[in-house]
Chain A
Amino acid sequence: EPEVTQTPSHQVTQMGQEVILRCVPISNHLYFYWYRQILGQKVEFLVSFYNNEISEKSEIFDDQFSVERPDGSNFTLKIRSTKLEDSAMYFCASSESGVRGNYGYTFGSGTRLTVV
């Protein structure tokens, strides 16, 4: 079964540092997403990406965040200057279609970001 792969699985960084979280979506998927989940809390949407541009973003996705698809396979989330409250699990997801009628999204296993 195709998978969404995320690296690293765990990242510890100092407050104010930049981090890049990496994802390899499923190869024939066209839509890519980042979600986050603070420990014990709900899954929260951050951003969706299609055709090399952001198609939608939430209020959480402020100027400290950026996404990029630097090549044909990777999809990255950058946090420029991390804050303590950025500590969370970050999930990448992809879907074949942006239409949610098609069997939902495939999520990766996540990157646990710890900001100290």
Chain B
Amino acid sequence: LAKTTQPISMDSYEGQEVNITCSHNNIATNDYITWYQQFPSQGPRFIIQGYKTKVTNEVASLFIPADRKSSTLSLPRVSLSDTAVYYCLVGDEGDSNYQLIWGAGTKLIIKP
């Protein structure tokens, strides 16, 4: 399974665009990329999922270059409430849940 690497933490300011990059050098052909957000003492919340190029929804965009060895979660105009831990997961629909490894994530702190 593809191992993911993310920055441990990031800081930004309200109103800024935040980009969090995840590297997954050994991503397999059938793998897709999913991002979750987790607030303290809450369960992770699905943000966005993609396979290639760009995916956009009402909360974020996901940019995936042609080689798919990395992906970037983009949060437009962040607010204080976007302070959370963000997890990048890579896996194939055929992978076992047991094998879907949750890393330490990126702790994003938004400042006023």
Contact = CB atoms under 8 A, between A and B. Distances in A.
Interface residues of B, number: 23
B36 A110 contact: no
A105 interface: yes
A107 B44 contact: yes
A109 interface: yes
B5 to A, nearest CB: 14
A45 B100 contact: yes
B28 to A, nearest CB: 13
Given A42-B103, A42-B104, A43-B87, A103 B98 contact: no
Contacts of A106: 46
Interface string A89-116: 1010100000111011111111010000
Interface residues of A, number: 25
A110 B41 contact: yes
A41 to B, nearest CB: 8
A14 interface: no
Contacts of A48: 97
A33 B32 contact: no
A89 B38 CA distance: 13
B102 A101 contact: no
B95 interface: yes
B49 A103 contact: yes
A14 B41 CA distance: 22
B80 to A, nearest CB: 20
Interface of B: 32, 34, 36, 38, 41-46, 49, 87, 91-93, 95-98, 100, 102-104
Q: Closest 9 A-B residue pairs measured CB to CB?
A: A107-B43, A104-B46, A43-B102, A99-B93, A91-B43, A58-B98, A101-B93, A100-B93, A42-B102
